[in-house]
Structure 1
Amino acid sequence: MSGPELVLVLRYRKAVTYGFHVLLGALEEHETATRYEVRFGDTPESTAEHVQAAHASGAKVLVLWSFYSPDAAALAEELAAIKRTAPGAVHVAGGVHATAEPVQTLDAGWDIAAVGEGESTLLALVDNGGDPAGVTGLVYRDGSGNVVRTGKAHREPLGRYRAFPLTYKRMNPIEITRGCVYACRFCQTPFMFSARFRHRSVENVRWHVDRMREFGKRDVRFITPTSLSYGADDEEPNLPAVEELLASCKEGIGPHGRVFFGSFPSEIRPEHMSVEALRLVKKYCANDNLIVGAQSGSERVLEAAKRGHDVESVRRAVRLGVAEGFRINVDMIFGMPGEDPADAEASLKLAQELAALGARIHSHVFMPLPGTPWRDAPPGDVDPETIRAVSRLAQQGALYGHWQKQREHAVRLAAAAEAHPRPGRSSTLLPIRPASEQAGTP
């Protein structure tokens, strides 16, 4: 048999393996006339070596990249180095950043930006021998430098493609829900996947769990924007669907396996916490901790961010979780757009109150992520007093997170947005209170 016509080199980094596994899961079931191979570039050096080897065999080479917005600048530098070392490949960027900022992605050096969900787009690219012409879901420049947009990528029901590939024995948490009805202004998920839920069926999830057990895996985890929304069409949890899912997974992974739900890499919305829900987790799952998304202790900020819950829901969620024996990790974002000293103080007081109840605070600094309504907002700014108070909580073991590094990322994102302005785009920021209404003003 002759060699491959097309070689797909994955720039395979730990931060984005899940997304690549979904693509490989779709690819391994796909019948195509194109002879292709998949190779994994675990480092920039190995990626360049794969490109050189594939070119030497006469194959066309597509290097597939996926990254989040905070990583875009660093990976653009890596891309330039690989292109210098191993020229001639076509570099395709996918994921939330490329979807939100395709032209910026092209300007940074990638040849093609894949916009939206990538499974059907990749399959069509492979069928086309790597030629982007006629493949939907792509943005690229033609020979004259004009931007070509090929239209929206095709969306299939979740479950149409596998959550991970069997061929390469690379397994990961199972994506059970895609999209999110809440559309929080700082989050990229609903604006990439649409503001509605699509759920993988219990039967489909169980198929994956059975395969995991066959391969000797013991732990089942899930990818979802909001765990207790599984099976729901709107904001109201569907606990019978959640129980059916968890019971099937526990049975499938066997007596020596474990199921984790509502912990990393997913979370639970505070208003969804109930005794009934928590006892379902205790009955079927192994995790003794849960992640709750609070984001702010200010009612004003929560409303502006369109979070869909109030501060009291957060307090209640932590109390319920602690009473049922869980360690609660609470996500909070400091420096939200329009946040003033009174809002910052409210968040800090809530963090201290929840820490006193036994919760741990997972701290973040606001980042103006591309593709979100707050894309044009300034980077999160945290005043020195709040920084000192947050540091004290961290020293006590009540707070963790990489908020200092996120602040650096936020500044870079804001600079990139300024370099690629979008006229008429509104950030819908909070109004700043008059000085007489701000905290600490007599």
Structure 2
Amino acid sequence: MSVALVLRYRKANTYGHHALLGALEAEPPDTPFTVAFATSPEATASAIAEGLRTADRVLVLWSFYSPDAPALAVELATIRTLVDDDRVLHVAGGVHATAEPQQVLDAGWDVAAIGEGETTLLRLVDAGDSLTGVRGLAVRDSDGVALRTGPAITRELDAFGSFSLRHHKYGPIELTRGCIYACKFCQTPFMFSARFRHRSVENVRWHVRAMVADGMKDVRFTTPTSLSYGTQTEEPDLDAVEELLGTVRAELPSHGRLFFGSFPSEIRPEHVTPEAMRMLRKYVSNDNIIIGAQSGSDRMLAASRRGHGAGPVLDAVRIAAEAGFRPNVDFLFGMPGESSADADASLTLAREVAALGGRVHAHTFMPLPGTPWRDAEPAFVAAETITTIDQLAASGALYGHWRRQAEHATQLAETAKAYPRRTPRRRTVEQ
């Protein structure tokens, strides 16, 4: 028995695929397998056809965010017209499959992988045709209703790598998984649980050494809240953060660069203190940090369960700017229940951010599956608000794909109507 793995490899999902490859390399399955990276529908069909010639089974691994689901369902249908075989299993993973397993099965995928995928994939490669014995899946029952096979097995982050050494596929090191803040608009805490799981300093050291040995010189991280590293509470542990950064810097060559608190991660505003910024300046290469504000309205911040008010946002911008960082501040317009007064408060704060030398990163609320606001109606964004946003953008004080996200919000609502929600059945399986 052998398996051909075909990764539908898109720019938006490379990090997740790299983590899966890291798991396969850390604990290779008993079943021999090959890996193919497919960067287009045509390449995916070609890789599937090649896999059918050389292996007994083909697993096509998809991972996507909720806004991408409708377009990828169309792509899946196209690929099936090009090559389809009972030996091929199309597996949907990621936050959307976790939140809406029934929806992805109805849209054409054979299996939905729910939750953390590393251990699930390891067992799936060895499973043969017996999918109900693999935890972390949803499969279609005889009447079409999703049958869940039990919760995915959760492992410590140190168990698996963040990337693939064998295939030289690198990216940011996943530093923390899960988030204790559980904001109502965010999928992260509801996929990975509302607690922190941190990668150890020694394991991060291993990653950095491996990257440097392969010629890499830049290190970045993914984490929901950068200065929460090493803690399980809302209070930062700056000693833990400094140990991490000092270790990474010591492993980098003289021309190496260390990015922390910048894309693709952020820092909570109440964590931006003079002490924290002085510590970062000792180690990091980035000249900017991302601060998660989301709103200038205390009412909306409380409603979204952000855990801070608008005041700490402006304090954070001042402190970061004084420390030599350019603050990029996330704002989320159109949250459910947002009034014109709330929007005005956000615009006032946005102007103050710009006046202090910061930039506004504008977003539009999307009712993301799996979140408490999944079924919430986005607030109407008034023409006056859009005009002000455009003016800030024209001056260079604002950036972001907020218009595209507004289109995604409409599409998500239409998709939810097209696929009525059904409660998946549960089946207990042996660990």
TM-score, normalised to structure 2's length? 0.95
Q: Does 1:288 align with 2:287?
A: yes
Q: Does 1:54 align with 2:51?
A: yes
How many Å separate the matches in 1 of 2:385 and 2:279? 38
2:212 maps to amino acid: R
1:97 maps to amino acid: H
Aligned positions of 1:347-386 closer than 5 A: 347-386=346-385
How many Å separate the matches in 2 of 1:27 and 1:364? 36
1:31 to 28, 31, 35: 28
1:78 to 75, 80, 83: 75
- Equivalent in the alignment of 1:22: 19
Aligned positions of 1:15-414 closer than 5 A: 15-57=12-54, 59-88=56-85, 89-129=88-128, 131-414=130-413
Q: Percent identity among equivalent residues?
A: 60
1:71 maps to amino acid: D
Q: CA deviation at 1:48?
A: 0.3
Please, which runs of 5 or more residues in structure 1 have no aligned partner? 425-442
- Equivalent in the alignment of 1:10: 7
Q: CA deviation at 1:86?
A: 1.0
In the alignment, is the contact (CA less than 8 A) between 1:44 and 1:78 conserved in 2?
yes
In the alignment, is the contact (CA less than 8 A) between 2:337 and 2:379 conserved in 1?
no
Deviating 4+ runs (over 4 angstroms): 420-424
How many Å separate the matches in 2 of 1:273 and 1:301? 21
1:61 maps to amino acid: V
Q: CA deviation at 1:53?
A: 1.4
Q: CA deviation at 1:36?
A: 1.2
Q: Which range moves more in the overlay, 262-271 or 127-136? A: 127-136
How many Å separate the matches in 2 of 1:181 and 1:58? 43
In the alignment, is the contact (CA less than 8 A) between 2:217 and 2:255 conserved in 1?
yes
How many Å separate the matches in 2 of 1:68 and 1:379? 19
RMSD: 1.4
How many Å separate the matches in 2 of 1:188 and 1:123? 24
Cα-to-partner distance string for 1:24-70 (whole Å, 9 max, x where unaligned): 00001223321211111111111000111122335211100000001
How many Å separate the matches in 2 of 1:175 and 1:71? 22
How many Å separate the matches in 2 of 1:58 and 1:101? 31
Q: CA deviation at 1:146?
A: 4.3
Q: CA deviation at 1:253?
A: 1.2
Q: CA deviation at 1:214?
A: 0.4
Q: Which range moves more in the overlay, 32-41 or 105-114? A: 32-41
Q: CA deviation at 1:420?
A: 4.2
Please, which runs of 5 or more residues in structure 2 have no aligned partner? 424-431
TM-score, normalised to structure 1's length? 0.93
- Aligned residue pairs total 421
2:311 maps to amino acid: E
How many Å separate the matches in 1 of 2:83 and 2:419? 29
In the alignment, is the contact (CA less than 8 A) between 2:145 and 2:422 conserved in 1?
no
How many Å separate the matches in 2 of 1:76 and 1:389? 36
In the alignment, is the contact (CA less than 8 A) between 2:102 and 2:145 conserved in 1?
no
How many Å separate the matches in 1 of 2:300 and 2:422? 25
How many Å separate the matches in 2 of 1:374 and 1:421? 17
How many Å separate the matches in 2 of 1:284 and 1:58? 48
